[in-house]
Structure formats: C-alpha cells, structure tokens
Amino acid sequence: MAWLWNCSRWGCQSPIAIAGEYATGCRRRTRSSSTKSGSHGSDAESLLVAMSTFTEAKHALTLAQADILRGVFEPPRVIREARKAEEEAARMARFNSTIVADLASLWVEHVKRMGRKESTLYTYQKRIDAQVLPTLGHLPVDAVTPQAVQDWYDELDRNQGNGVSRGAYMMLSGMFTYATGKATGQPYGFKPLVTETPCRVVGATKHRPVRPGEVSDKVITDAQLGALANAMPLRERLAVLLGGWQALRIGEVLGLQRRDVQGE
C-alpha cells in the first residue's frame, strides 16, 4: 500500500508507527535489537499501534509528515514526557501552596457540612488553634512527614498528657484522611492534596490513664475556678462558670438557650 512507507527513510520508527503515536499515543513495544547512530534496527517492525481505522492512520501520517517538513515535529514520546512533567509541576505547586492551616480550615468546613454538632466543631477549632497550628500550621501539607507527626505527638504527649495528645492526634489524622480524598462524604471531584497520610503513630489512638488516682481525684477549688474564668476571653467566661458550678459538659453549655434559664 502506498501509505506504508519504507522504514529506512524514518530511522528506527516507520511513519505509520509515528502516525499511530501521533494520533492516539497508544503503542506497545516488543523486544527489539539495539542500533548504533545512523543505522536502522527492527524496532519499528515490532511496534503495534492501536488505531481505529486506516483512514485515521493516514490522516495522522499526513499531519506528522507536515510537521517534519516544517521542522517542528516532536515524537509522541517526547510530548508525553513534557506533558507529564508539566502535570507533576502543577501538582507540586498546588501541594506547596496549601499549608496545614489551610487544610485545617477545609477540614472543619467539611465536617460541618457532614452535620457535626456545634460543640464538636468548637472543640476541633480549639484543638487546632492550641495544638496543631503552633507547630505544623505553617508547613505545606506534602512536607509533613511521618517523623514530623511522631515528633509532634511525642512532645504533646510528654508535655500535656494522653488526654490531650490522643484527641489532637485523632483530629490531625482525620484532617490528612481528608487531604488524601478518602474521608466520608467528600465531593467526587475533590483532588487529593497528598497521596498518603503521614499519621502513622503506633498506639496514638489508645486511651490510657495519665495521672495517679490520688492526683486525679482532686477537685478544683472555688478560687481556682474563678481565676480560670477570669483568664478566659470575656465571651467564654460564663461557659467556664456554668461548667464548674453546674457540672455541665461543653455540649450542654453551648446548647443552653434563654428559655432554659428560669427566674431572675
């Protein structure tokens, strides 16, 4: 057939092979002999091209020939490699532009859409502000390594105990599960920020007593409760007093409404 040109004119790839790659980018190489510069091997003869019709192959060949004559032809392999490099660069730019503080905001919005209670969202935000942002908040999400998480957890556990480190770690783990695109209820079109979570601390989610019994049995005094309330932001002082005097949990405090208060 006239459109099946001699392979020797085109080096190691025949024009129909070039056309096939040019049109579809689909090819499969079988084992071929190595060639020296200027010589022609049998690689093209073993190149199997996926084309839907001969007409498509002929049209693709015409385009490839025109590019060759103009001196602008690039082998499909080169084009694919350049495109892959561009996509990887764009991916890394997106990763580097998203820091842990941004991820925390995205995650809080996500769990809010999932119907978390106001008291739960309040707790999450307090943990983020107090335990996550000071150490990890400025880091790009893809720069957070398993060792960085381990060091962060160890310091938190050592300084504030398991009651704080366990909750903070579980929250951070949830944030990075969201970053991988594997959180429950995430939009279908979400593009993952990381390929895998760096939260791999063994035993971090296990609850354990943090103080001896005789210490944990101590109860805060009236004076200590007042001092604690005075040290809080003005809008949160009443919540501390209600929790202390009425033994209310945070969800119960935040759920109070005017109709719940009787008398003057």
SS (H, E, C) 33-67: CCCCCCCCCCCHHHCEECCCCHHHHHHHHHHHHHH
Could you tell me if residue 142 is inside a domain? Answer: yes
Could you tell me if residue 2 is inside a domain? Answer: no
Could you tell me if residue 179 is inside a domain? Answer: yes
Mean pLDDT of 181-194: 89
Q: 55 and 11: one domain? A: yes
For residue 46, the enclosing domain spans 7-94
Could you tell me if residue 56 is inside a domain? Answer: yes
Domain closes at, from 73, 94, 115 = 94
Q: 140 and 77: one domain? A: no
- Across 71-75, 193-197, 221-225, least confident range: 71-75
Mean pLDDT of 99-117: 93
Q: 104 and 206: one domain? A: yes
Q: 41 and 109: one domain? A: no
Q: 79 and 106: one domain? A: no
Could you tell me if residue 1 is inside a domain? Answer: no
Q: 41 and 107: one domain? A: no
Q: 152 and 246: one domain? A: no
Q: Which residue has the higher pLDDT, 218 or 212?
A: 218
**How many domains does the chain contain in total?**
3
110 pLDDT higher than 80: yes
pLDDT of residue 225: 84
Q: 106 and 89: one domain? A: no
pLDDT of residue 41: 38
Could you tell me if residue 182 is inside a domain? Answer: yes
Domain closes at, from 59, 78, 94 = 94
Q: 85 and 116: one domain? A: no
Q: Which residue has the higher pLDDT, 2 or 52?
A: 52
pLDDT band, residue 8 (cuts 50/70/90) = very low
Q: Which residue has the higher pLDDT, 40 or 205?
A: 205
Q: Which long-range contacts (CB under 8 A, 24 or more apart) does 92-95 make?
A: 92/142, 94/191, 94/193, 95/140, 95/141, 95/142, 95/193, 95/194
Q: 107 and 197: one domain? A: yes
pLDDT of residue 264: 60
Q: 183 and 112: one domain? A: yes
Position of tokens 């071929």? 32
Could you tell me if residue 228 is inside a domain? Answer: yes
pTM of the model as a whole: 0.53
pLDDT of residue 1: 41
Could you tell me if residue 76 is inside a domain? Answer: yes
215 pLDDT higher than 70: no
Taking the C-alpha atoms of residue 105 and residue 178, their distance in angstroms, rounded to an integer, is 11
Q: 68 and 147: one domain? A: no
Share of residues in the chain with pLDDT > 90 (%): 31
Mean pLDDT of 70-80: 77
CATH of the domain at 129: 1.10.150.130
